[in-house]
Amino acid sequence: MARTPFVCGNWKMHETVPEAVALASEVRDGLGEAAGKVQVAVAPPFTALHAVGQALAGSRVELAAQDVHWEAKGAFTGEVSPGMLLDAGCAHCVVGHSERRHLFGETDEAVRRKVGALLGAGLRPIVCVGETLAEREGSRTLEVVERQVRQGLAGLSAEQLERVTVAYEPVWAIGTGKTATAAQAQEVHAAIRKILRELGGSAADRIRIQYGGSVKPENARELMSQPDVDGALVGGASLKAKDFLAIVKGALR
């Protein structure tokens, strides 16, 4: 089953509004042969979403947010709702990133609520899962990832599952320069696909599973050539248009 590869840049807490618009415009103008063959999105910080959305309007680059709250509105100081993301021009939203889980206490239950709220608003969640170094060294990788996938996606119909992207991001590979080998990535991606098949039957063949964690132009092609690696969630390397575009092109099959 051929899945369109999906590459998303996660800009984290980087870029002012003018910097973000300039970076997004460079990505928009540099897709070249990847346009229409690789699905591409960028996730700027909340402050730059609207301006970047305007710069990307009508282009092949989609807008993603980095987080969301599950309520539609109300007294939730500091939070942003799915409707607000939609209003700003977003099509996607990252959920359960390991930095949110480990630095800000995001739980699997919060991930589940956010996924439901995003789907309800017509947005597509990118649900991040991944083990820490201690968990990998304790041979608990598959157990941890399985729990995160099952709890984060609990209760979704096959139709809803198809709108979800899963991002496997081993925590020990994020921002460290250490990348999982293509074989290590494929092993976990295949395990995730198996769980998705249990949850959603044949929908699992259409769900994209991205790899994330120190993806660079040098390793992107090999990682994404694995049968169950359907793209990448890119942090550091997405802040340089040239590197990000090289990764996008590495997804061409």
Give whichever of 127 and 233 is closer to ligand PGA, judged by the CB atom: 233
Vertex 124, ends 248 and 115: CA angle to 5°?
130
- To the nearest whole angstrom, how small is the minimum distance from the Cβ of residue 201 to ligand PGA? 29
- To the nearest whole angstrom, how small is the minimum distance from the Cβ of residue 177 to ligand PGA? 8
- To the nearest whole angstrom, how small is the minimum distance from the Cβ of residue 231 to ligand PGA? 12
Query: Which residue's C-beta sits nearest to ligand PGA?
Result: 235
Q: What residues are annotated to the active site?
A: 97, 169
Give whichever of 70 and 244 is closer to ligand PGA, judged by the CB atom: 244
Q: H or E stretch including 52?
A: helix 46-56
Beta bridge partners of 232: 7, 211
Vertex 217, ends 22 and 20: CA angle to 5°?
15
Give whichever of 170 and 200 is closer to ligand PGA, judged by the CB atom: 170
The rounded distance, in Å, linking the Cα atoms of 5 and 248 is: 9
- To the nearest whole angstrom, how small is the minimum distance from the Cβ of residue 213 to ligand PGA? 5
Give whichever of 101 and 199 is closer to ligand PGA, judged by the CB atom: 101
Binding site for ligand PGA (CB under 6 A): 10, 169, 174-175, 212-215, 233-237
Cα of 143 vs its chain's centroid, Å? 21
Q: H or E stretch including 72?
A: none
With the C-alpha atoms ordered 46, 48, 53, 56, is the resulting torsion angle positive or negative?
negative
